[in-house]
Amino acid sequence: MSYAGDLTPHEAWKLLEDEPGALLVDVRTEAEWRYVGIPDASSLGKKAELIEWVSYPAMARNDDFLAQLQATGVQPGQPIVFLCRSGQRSIGAAQVATAAGLGPAYNILEGFEGATDEHGHRGWQGWKGAGLPWHQG
């Protein structure tokens, strides 16, 4: 594995709670942040850094991703927890961070909303489904 590993949403929350320097990075698109919601770590004295992995609507890779991540002030050795919609884009982000010497970098399994159910709806898995704090973007 070319990143530190995968965490469930509750494990990610616990890491954010226990590690004062741990950083939460939401790599979804601006449209997702605006219309689906944003994880809320304010009760931990933290906020989610919003850095697109790909840009909507073209879904083209954000060539400035690493520079934008570094602009948050993250330092080597500082844990980074990456979140996307369903836990796939965040793997790429964790791999890039690790290759750049940042992290340990983790992927949140199931992402913010998880997979679709039998009716095509999301939100029953992931950060939202786990009942973790979030707010409308």
Which of the four pLDDT bands, split at 50, 70 and 90, describes residue 36?
Answer: very high
Mean pLDDT of the chain: 94
Distance CA 118, CA 54 (A): 27
Coil vs helix vs strand at 22:
coil
Burial 70-102 (b: 16+ CB within 10 A, else e): eeeebeeebbbbbbbbbbebbbbbbbbbbeeeb
Report field, pTM of the whole predicted structure over 0.85:
yes
Per-residue pLDDT averaged across 97-122, rounded?
90
Higher pLDDT, 58 or 64: 64
The pLDDT > 70 percentage for the chain reads 97
What is the residue whose two structure tokens read 């002030």?
73
Write out the DSSP string of 46-115: ---EE--SEETTTTEE-TTHHHHHHTTT--TT--EEEE-SSSSHHHHHHHHHHHTT---EEEETTTTT-S
Q: Which domains does the chain have, with CATH numbers?
A: 5-135 (3.40.250.10)
Cβ atoms within 10 Å, residue 109 = 19
Distance CA 127, CA 100 (A): 27
